[in-house]
Structure 1
Amino acid sequence: MFREDYLMRHIQSLADAVARILGLNEREEYDRALAAAEQAWQELLDVPGALIRAIDTATLVGMLREPAKLRLAARLFREEARALAGRGEPARAAVRSRRALELLLEARSIDPGERAADDTAIAELSHAVPVDALAARYRTLLQPGS
């Protein structure tokens, strides 16, 4: 019970952080959005964002484990992508978008309970991420019915 309460509070605080980052992006405060994302990564895993961006998706999935955390991590990557695109860094934004898509696909495969919301976000990200940029596992998970 205590672990579930802690996890829910932790997830809610991260959701609040993502909402703040979204607001910063909407106000075109991209540097502040990226700084807030870095802080959120630190809170999510107690690991610097640079390390999170350096590890592969499978390792990150293993670290986060919980589908709710995977979805929040995907949202963080999406907001980082928006900030980077706003700063005129499309290549770095594309990498973050791909990572967001991979995490959402993993979350949906573990817990399809939020399929409608996942499918909407996956569809949006699919426009920004070329299919050939994805590993075979994610191309398979991207197929309808997966």
Structure 2
Amino acid sequence: MWNELYPEDGNDPHDDDHAAEMHRLRGLIMAQAAETEAVLGMILVRLDPGQNVARPAGQLLLSIRQRLDEQRRSHWSAGLDLIYDAIKRRNEAVHRPVEVGSSWAPYSTGDGGEWVPVITLMCDQEYDEQNLRKDLALQHRATCEAVRLLRSLDL
């Protein structure tokens, strides 16, 4: 984008070609989190049909926790905590400013290394493609837990 907006600037500080996969993964994290949020809305409607579900995922999760009976809340405690963790990670990916850069990663053989694209995003720490893949897997697990909870309400 920098090159398109400022073609006269020969020193491009951004290497977006190398970070394209990381930006794609950020988008997938956001999309998967939206799926979880939709399921949370369905759960809340099932628990309390009059509820407004046009709220952020964190608020939906809090309302769900408040409406689950003690037995279900205890049974689903780990799943609800996983969903909470996924919401926090999604919020970091969405709301933190993104700076693309590179970090030197030595080879495991100790023979040299390579520059690896990173996003400085999560609490100002280096955050690479592997971290994004882990966050995407967390989002997927959160959606699965939300679907399982929704299904359990029918049983």
Same-fold call, TM cutoff 0.5: no
Which structure has the higher relative contact order (CA within 8 Å, separation 6+)? 2
Work out which of the two has the higher radius of gyration on C-alpha atoms and give 1 or 2. Answer: 2
- Whichever structure has more helix as a proportion of its residues is 1
TM-score, normalised via structure 2 length: 0.31
- Whichever structure has more strand as a proportion of its residues is 2
